[in-house]
Amino acid sequence: MSDTPQTQHLGQMSSLPASPEEAQLDYVPNPRIDTTYLVRFVSPEFTSLCPVTGQPDFAHIVIDYAPGKTIVESKSLKLFLGSFRNHSGFHEDVTVGIGQRLNAEMKPDWLRIGGYWYPRGGIPIDVFWQSGPPPQGLWVPDQGVPGYRGRG
């Protein structure tokens, strides 16, 4: 038996999944299992579709997590996030759904997601979710996304 995990995307040609439900996230063993640390993924050009108008919604997504036994493989995460391009959902559902899926499958020690949605109809919407309090001793930096200020 090999120590290399079986993954669908790592080192393979992969197509963008048609939907988030079809997307497979790959997880590999945490290489620093005895260390408390934070991993951050940023998707500054995230898109999904408005469930009312069908028009694109744009967001800056920040995912922070403290790994447990596994880490998410970044290519599979990129494909998963890209699969929302043709997915209809309200900002709240999309943001929280991404966080909850990662939390349920990966089982990190802690996870938070910030969805900083660009204005539609003149109102920016920021959505935040976390799995619980961060682990003792974990350095949790600010997500670094300023509040929307318009053109001024």
Q: What is the pLDDT along the chain (152 residues), one digit of tens a residue?
A: 344 456 666 667 789 999 999 999 999 999 999 999 999 999 999 999 999 999 999 999 999 999 999 999 999 999 999 999 999 999 999 999 999 999 999 999 999 999 999 998 888 999 999 999 999 999 999 999 988 877 66
pLDDT for position 152: 60
pTM of the model: 0.91
Q: Which of 26, 34, 57, 142 is catalytic?
A: 57
pLDDT for position 30: 97
The alpha carbon of residue 88 and the mean position of all alpha carbons in its chain are separated, in whole angstroms, by: 17
Q: What angle do CA 139, 145, 147 make, to 5 degrees?
A: 130
Residue 122 tokens, joined = 């003149």
| 38-50 per-residue burial string, b: 16 or more CB within 10 A, e: under 16 | beebebeebbbbe
Q: Which of 50, 93, 109, 142 is catalytic?
A: 50
How close are the terminal C-alpha atoms of the chain, in Å? 59
Does the active-site annotation cover 57? yes
Does the active-site annotation cover 142? no
Which residue is associated with the tokens 């043709």? 86
Instruction: For residue 137, give every residue at least 6 positions away whose Cβ sits within 8 Å of its Cβ, in sequence order, or none.
Output: 36
Among 121, 113, 109, 14, smallest CA distance to 70 is for: 109
